[in-house]
């Protein structure tokens, strides 16, 4: 089996690589431009890569550009193409919406057109829970509910998603789509909430908790470890129906204060925190996201261990690998 992963040197991408290296005998091509979010050290640190480095090759290409015939010939064809490359930083998309469009819409169109031209077994597009916008209490969006993007990042991801479905409908490209909730895991950028909280608790600093206008109710998410996302992606590629969408959801809802307290307990230090109204100061950041994961469950997919154990293990690993908490360029 041959697999192409765009953005494979990114946070979720390298966990997907790890899964396929451990669970299959596939050869993997990483397509990445390695400028901001891509970091090959993520892959190099994987035990699975160290055992079999010859199974992974890295190919440079900027997805904002169309694929030349020479690049297509050098890349070849694949059984699976997983498109994870994207601009994922909401603040950057708010500051420069056209960059989000270039990275998440134009780039997606180019990789879809490449797949249409050379052919592929299946094409998996990674979308986000944010395309649905904020979820009121008690609401969990299903795969085909209406979209209500709250920021340019979400809108651009929705645009790429609809392009993927259009390529399926127009060209019969074997496309599948995932909506993934907030992902945590090893080697995540330190500006993200979990690694940032680990660092602040370790250093006895105050943690700001995203809350409502009254600063009494913390924002909430269905956090999920990147390993679970990779497992779900492989399951969808094997068992999903082309042209359909699938929600990848964490096992239970946690508000950000609960999450911070679990992290502090795992670090072994008290939590110093302040509830702040992020939405008023940072428009485009929504208080609650929630998806309905029953579709995958009915197909037989199960996550495995509890989120609390995942967080404990992640905190332990991060404290043992503090170089991943060092400040780097915002992604």
- CA-nearest of 297, 283, 268 to 90 is 283
Active site residue 191: no
- CA-nearest of 267, 269, 227, 222 to 249 is 222
Give residue-wise pLDDT tens across range 121-154: 999 999 999 999 999 999 999 999 999 999 999 9
Q: Identify the active-site residue in 78, 114, 153, 246.
A: 153
pLDDT at 311: 97
Q: Identify the active-site residue in 18, 32, 103, 130.
A: 130
**What is the reported pTM?**
0.95
Secondary structure (3-state) at 106: helix
Q: Identify the active-site residue in 129, 161, 253, 286.
A: 129
- CATH superfamily of the domain spanning 2-183+222-248: NAD(P)-binding Rossmann-like Domain (3.40.50.720)
189-221+254-288+305-325 is a CATH 3.40.50.1970 domain = no
pLDDT at 282: 61
More confident site: 284 or 187 = 187
Helices (H), 183-306: 193-202, 226-239, 256-267, 278-281, 294-298
Mean pLDDT score of the chain: 94
- Dist CA 167 CA 162 (whole Å): 9
User: At a CB cut-off of 8 Å and minimum separation 6, what does 153 contact?
Assistant: 87, 88, 89, 90, 92, 93, 94, 100, 104, 128, 130, 284
Q: What is the CA radius of gyration of the chain?
A: 19
Give residue-wise pLDDT tens across range 309-327: 999 999 999 999 999 999 7
Active site residue 161: no
Mean pLDDT confidence for 57-80: 96
Give residue-wise pLDDT tens across range 175-218: 999 999 999 999 999 989 999 999 999 999 999 998 998 999 99
CB–CB of 124/81 below 8 Å? yes
What are the boundaries of each domain within the chain? 2-183+222-248, 189-221+254-288+305-325
Active site residue 129: yes
């Amino acid at each position: 089996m041959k697999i192409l992963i765009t953005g494979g040197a990114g946070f979720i991408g390298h966990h997907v690589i790890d899964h396929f290296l451990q669970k299959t005998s596939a050869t993997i091509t990483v397509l990445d431009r390695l400028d901001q979010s891509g970091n090959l050290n993520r892959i190099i640190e994987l035990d699975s890569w160290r055992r079999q480095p010859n199974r992974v090759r890295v190919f440079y290409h900027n997805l904002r550009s169309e694929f030349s015939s020479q690049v297509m010939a050098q890349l070849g064809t694949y059984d699976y193409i997983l498109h994870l490359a994207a601009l994922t930083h909401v603040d950057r998309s708010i500051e420069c919406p056209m960059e989000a469009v270039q990275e998440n819409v134009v780039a997606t169109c180019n990789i879809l057109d490449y797949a249409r031209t050379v052919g592929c077994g299946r094409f998996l597009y990674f979308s986000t829970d944010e395309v649905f916008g904020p979820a009121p209490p008690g609401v969990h969006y299903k795969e085909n509910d209406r979209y209500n993007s709250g920021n340019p990042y979400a809108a651009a991801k929705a645009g790429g998603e609809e392009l993927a479905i259009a390529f399926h409908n127009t060209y019969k490209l074997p496309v599948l789509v995932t909506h993934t909730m907030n992902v945590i895991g090893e080697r995540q950028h330190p500006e993200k909430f979990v690694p940032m909280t680990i660092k602040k608790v370790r250093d006895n600093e105050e943690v700001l908790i995203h809350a409502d206008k009254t600063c009494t109710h913390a924002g909430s998410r269905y956090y999920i470890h990147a390993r679970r996302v990779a497992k779900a992606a492989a399951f969808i590629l094997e068992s999903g129906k082309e042209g359909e969408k699938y929600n990848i959801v964490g096992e239970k809802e946690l508000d950000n204060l609960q999450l911070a307290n679990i992290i502090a307990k795992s670090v072994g230090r008290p939590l110093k925190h302040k509830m702040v109204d992020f939405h008023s100061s940072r428009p485009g950041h929504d208080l609650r996201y929630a998806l309905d994961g029953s579709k995958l469950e009915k197909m037989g997919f199960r996550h495995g261990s509890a989120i609390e154990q995942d967080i404990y293990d992640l905190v332990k690993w991060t404290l043992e690998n503090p170089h991943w908490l060092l400040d780097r360029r915002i992604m």
